[in-house]
Amino acid sequence: MGLKQIRIQGDSILTKRAKPVKEITPDILTLLDDMKETMEKTDGVGIAAPQVGMLKRIAVIAHEDEFYELINPEITEASGSQICNEACLSVNGLCGDVDRPTTLKVRATNRNGEEFTVEATDFMASVFSHELDHLDGVLFIDKATDIKPIDDEERENRRRTRRRRNRQRHN
């Protein structure tokens, strides 16, 4: 496994639509492992393949004790509305408010080629929506209002929150 470099806003790969995965190969499994490691090392809660330079429809999301590897994910249902203050590993130093669904159902394939459905609510619905947007070449700042710099205090609060979620996931 290895850490991947996070692509930053301005990199054209972040604005392109990712291609479906046709076959789960050893390279895809390695990519999943590398994405998970990269996400954990950056204290993230989610990461999409374009963020590490791969135009594949793959995302990795973690929440408390749940870990999701999503291959060819698709939102099958969305309802409600919530305003989420978001930031992104690929957008340095900015946050903004984004209108996201409060409930989502996502269908995807796992690393074993098995199809599954996950239902996400509240914060996790925003995480799934955010990561799946990456697969369509959409960054949160494309949808956000009230975009502003993240000050040191906010950055530290976000870092503590991510670390707490990661500890919960590992305990």
Q: What is the pLDDT of residues 94-121, one digit of tens each?
A: 999 999 999 999 999 999 999 999 999 9
Catalytic residues: 131
2 located within any domain = no
**Range(s) of the domain holding residue 74:** 12-164
What share of the chain has pLDDT > 70, as a percent? 88
5 located within any domain = no
The average pLDDT across 132-137 equals 98
6 located within any domain = no
* pTM, two decimal places: 0.89
Integer Cα distance of 29 and 23 in angstroms: 11
169 located within any domain = no
17 located within any domain = yes
**93: CATH:** 3.90.45.10
pLDDT at 167 over 90: no
Q: What is the pLDDT of residues 142-164, one digit of tens each?
A: 999 999 998 777 666 666 665 66
pLDDT value for 161 = 63
pLDDT value for 159 = 65
